[in-house]
Amino acid sequence: MSSLREIEVKDKGRRWFSNPDEDLYLYLDDKGDIDSVEFCYGKTKDEHVLIVRTDHQFSHMRVDDGEQNLNSYKESPIYVLNGRFSLDLIISDLTSGIGELPKDLQEDIIKFVRENVGQHDFTAKAAQ
């Protein structure tokens, strides 16, 4: 798996990192601290997203790419409920992808995700 590389964006409150199989979006507050994380993974096969916000709000969804109907134009991708997931597997993928980012940023991302997803049964259904 290749490392995530930062993509330049004009919005100072957002950082975007990408590789062929993953996207990581960091939304920052006015002080530059992480306020929300969206980690999209499995882009080339079965795309899913883990969205984590402050105050222990999170959701895990599958990305419907809009390409199911063969007789019409492609529709816009949307998030659909997906239920069960393994946070440990997602953290493992995320850790691999961010391995070349500055160490303090890596730690901030992982800490934010772990703290805001909390001590839930990670294989149970995510909050919707």
Taking the C-alpha atoms of residue 42 and residue 62, their distance in angstroms, rounded to an integer, is 10
Placement of tokens 């882009």 in the chain: 43
pLDDT tens, residue by residue, 59-76? 888 876 666 666 666 667
Pairing of strands 22-28, 34-41: antiparallel
**Predicted pLDDT of residue 78:** 63
pLDDT tens, residue by residue, 79-125? 666 667 788 888 898 999 998 999 999 999 999 999 998 655 444 44
HEC per residue, 79-125 = EEECCECCHHHHHHHHHHHCCCCCHHHHHHHHHHHHHHHCCCCCCCE
Placement of tokens 């993928």 in the chain: 93
Total residues belonging to the chain: 128
pLDDT tens, residue by residue, 3-61? 899 999 999 899 999 999 999 999 999 999 999 999 999 888 888 889 999 988 888 88
Taking the C-alpha atoms of residue 113 and residue 90, their distance in angstroms, rounded to an integer, is 10
